[in-house]
Amino acid sequence: MSTVIDTNSANSTAPDLANHQPASVALKTTKPTLTVEEIQELLPHRYPFSLVDRIIEYVPGERAVGIKNVTVNEPHFQGHFPGRPIMPGVLIVEAMAQVCGVVLTQMLESDGGLFVFAGMNKVRFRRQVIPGDQLVITVELLCVKQGRFGKMQGRAEVDGQLATQGELIFSLVE
């Protein structure tokens, strides 16, 4: 089971967006995961572009850990590369961005808006990701500005080995 912070408790505080720092939270509750169905309630992505299978850890306003199971029957493997399937780096980064989206959509009041990928910094690819791998994606909030822009640090690992890392930037659009 994973630890999830209950921000609705009388003993907890919400993230302080004015200072761009997550607040400490006193009460922790246990929740096993966010399922793919629950993720789809938060994010607009659908097959073949839904790249997060499960959230295994979530701390509101701070961080999340998601899982992406990489399978050979995903459409991009037909051409990338025949006889030697490698998950495209851009899709690894997109999977990281989708885990970030889980944190951002629940943290900020979007009023029907949509968080979109606005940029990335210091992204590095350290290991190939192939069918049969399980990506464990960890993202942490770095800052929020004007309630409309967010920057997060992400890393994707396979079997404890770093595959990809970088800073991801998001913007809220109406």
Q: Report the alpha-carbon angle 37-38-40, nearest 5.
A: 65
91 phi/psi in degrees, rounded to 5: -75, -30
Token pair listed for 160: 């404890």
Beta bridge partners of 154: 139, 166
Residues in the chain: 174
Place of tokens 């919400």: 14
Q: How far apart are CA 149 and CA 151, in angstroms?
A: 7
Q: Which residues are catalytic?
A: 80
